[in-house]
Amino acid sequence: MDSFTQILLGASVAAAVVPKRHRRAALLAGAALGTLPDLDSFPIMLLTDDPVALMTLHRGFSHSLLVLPFVAWAIWAVFRRRGGRVAEAPARWFWAMQLALVTHPLLDAFTVYGTQLLWPLPLPPVMWSSVFIIDPMYTLWLFLGVVVAAFAGTRPIARRALVLGLALSSVYLGWSLLAKEMVDREAGRALAGLGLADAPRFSVPMPFNTLLWRVVAMTPDGFVEGERSLVADRGPMRFRRFPSETAALADAAALPAVRRLAWFNHGFMKAQVRDGRLVVSDLRMGAEPDYSFNFAVAERDGAGWRPIPPEQLSWPWQARRRLGEMWTRIWNEPRQADPPAG
């Protein structure tokens, strides 16, 4: 999730746990701990300028549930020895620090980017993909709880506001999982009718909401993409077919950058050949034809592909227009059928 939301989550859980006389200090401490895992980008940038490495190493060691509890313990031990608030209520501060750190990667896992919860085990990143990376309806309740607690201080309403904010934001996460299940069920029926019942697929909410969803399923020659509005859509889900240079991608599959990306994005990639170079796009973030992560990873070498230093590419796209279309799409089912995917 975005840094602002992680700051609010860390502040909320820490301040809800500590004694009331420590509450305002815990808001600040929890906010700092809540954003700490995302600082992994700075040491990674010092080690490499490879854009594939920068993408796939993020949310790694600093987001691991096998690492963060020990980091929280070490921070707690240092401050306990120094005395002060932590020494006055060591047990409560121990759990405040643990929760402020551990909730960060757990929340990140609800997005589609991918979080390596069990680093250094070589498992693919976890991507429950039930909320967009920025979702105001999740963040709002945390924000209100923190604001009330900051002004109320030691008064009972402060803790009640924090707990209520955490409860409502958690209910929203629960709703997002239910919404995803409903979308996946409809997508499964439609894909079965296209002969793609067993095709690898993912679903992800469109930006800033959990009412409009995008579903992508892989095919032998590319992928299909469809949308589902939980508000407007009543008929079967419709998919559009898009091509990908699957043969070129298969030929280059053993190249380090391609192999690393395939591990990170679970194989949800589109391949294009542009000016003799192989460009792969992460299908999870964006929508056809615009994607957030596009990398040139190889160039032609006779009949095969030769690796090149990965280069991140971007091309113009009209985000403002797409957001307007998305808002309209939430409330309206398309009148005309999309071109058939089969």
Q: Is 286 left (phi over 0), alpha (psi -120 to 50) or beta?
A: left
Assign 335 a pLDDT band (cuts: 50, 70, 90): confident
pLDDT reading at 336 higher than 80: no
Assign 320 a pLDDT band (cuts: 50, 70, 90): low
How many CB atoms within 10 Å of residue 78? 10
| Predicted local confidence at residue 302, as pLDDT | 86
State how far the Cα of 128 lies from the Cα of 105, in Å rounded to an integer: 12
Q: Which value, in Å, is the radius of gyration of the alpha carbons in the chain?
A: 22
Percent of the chain topping pLDDT 70: 96
Mean pLDDT of 297-310: 93
Domain boundaries, the chain: 3-176, 196-331
| Predicted local confidence at residue 280, as pLDDT | 97
Q: What is the pTM of this model?
A: 0.93
Mean pLDDT of 275-301: 94
Q: What is the pLDDT of residues 180-208, one digit of tens each?
A: 999 999 999 999 999 999 999 999 999 99
pLDDT reading at 338 higher than 60: no
| Predicted local confidence at residue 315, as pLDDT | 74
pLDDT reading at 50 higher than 80: yes
